[in-house]
Amino acid sequence: MSHQSINAERLLTRIRELGAIGRNDQGQLTRLAASATDKLGRDRLVAWLRAAGLEIAVDRIGNIFGVWQSQDNAGQSPLMLGSHIDTVINAGIYDGSYGVLAALEVIETLKEQGFAPVRPIVVAAFTNEEGVRYAPDMLGSLVHGGGLAVEAALATVGTDGTTLGSELACIGYAGTAEPGFLKPHAYVELHIEQGPVLEREATTIGAVENLQGISWQRVTIDGVANHAGTTPMAMRSDAGLAAARVGLFLREHIARSNAPSVATIGTMRFEPDAINVIPSRAVFTIDLRDPDEDRLRALESALSGFLDRLEQEEHVIVSVERLARFEPVSFDGAIVAAIEVSAKARGLKSRRMTSGAGHDAQMIARIAPAAMIFVPSRDGISHNPREHTDPADLVAGANVLLDVAVRLAGSP
């Protein structure tokens, strides 16, 4: 089976077709979770799943599953392959969608070759992986993995004031199955790297062995609004200056630690937001990541200590809200090794690596052995219309997924 290949043209055509769904008048691609454009993408995916002869199941959080099973294997726990099809704003066409469509392609290829798996194989498309409209990200897989109650998830209020549960109902994807009704034998997710490592090292396949921990916080700093020209610097309670110091602290602290930690202040707004008024309030988000839990906790602690000092030094009041917290994940060693074996058999250069981004695989790893396959991203760009992976690499990754699926679904 390792010498068989997926139908490259079918996979690449579907990636382009799905990538055309959800574009605005300027050609920008946006399929936010549970939106009207998300519905269009979901409808197209479900049509492809049905055409492949798969049973369709949608759970209460909107996760879509295409199930290939027979009378002989219906009682076995399934091999699950998948990712997500929601996007960020003004997105590229590969993030998430590639993994879902490659999973479908693997099943179609196996069916055409007469392969008889000893366990069902399932395509999964999880809801709200990106977390742009509803927080936290990876919400659908988090619920499936038992990390968040479905009622709480459905009550999530989005950035536009909508509620996830009502929006899923509006687009026709408020399913009836209870989340977690399919407990996988194993889960494998194929994804573009979204980073520069594979391309820089001229490596086609990344065997992802772990995934960074993620800490999201929202920080509010309250000071005193005052005249920008008449208030001496030493007599200010400047929320804007205090916020700027947080970003500088994080950069310098991580540089001194010589650790692979990363920190990002992704959003920031000031009040009253006037050029000639000292800000009375700054509200901003902080994204901290590290593949080691102890280092991540140490970074969180260092930030907390700095914020305490900042209150005293800048005469401000600081409050912190926890938005999301996910521990680092170590993936299943046997699946990671199977990825490497397939790459070698196909003459593809591979390397083990850490994922810097969050993925549905980290949530499903709570309930089943899991791992990820990466393929290169040109210039390391993602979440951007310039996101690109060469067709040969897309096909290579799908063929490795095919091999791993045969190994995991073809033996008891």
- Going by the annotation, the residues of the binding site are 84, 95, 130, 191, 383
Which DSSP category does 178 fall into? Answer: P
Answer left, alpha or beta for residue 126, where phi above 0 means left and psi between -120 and 50 means alpha.
beta
Tell me the β-bridge partners of 187. 80, 370
DSSP state string for 69-138: --TTTTTSPPEEEEEE----TTB-S-TTHHHHHHHHHHHHHHHHTT---SS-EEEEEETTSS-SSSSSSS
Nearest to 198 by CA among 4, 386, 389: 389
Work out the angle between the directed axes of helices 391-409 and 8-19 (0-180°, nearest 10).
110
Residue 246 CB partners (closer than 8 Å, separation 6+)? 219, 265, 284, 286, 303, 306, 307, 310
CA distance 133 to 382: 18
CA distance 355 to 198: 12
Tell me the CB-side half-sphere exposure of residue 247, using CA atoms within 13 A. Answer: 13
Q: Tell me the torsion sign for CA atoms 230, 234, 237, 240.
A: positive
Dig out the tokens for 212 from the structure: 């960074």
Positions at the binding site for Zn(2+):
84, 95, 130, 191, 383
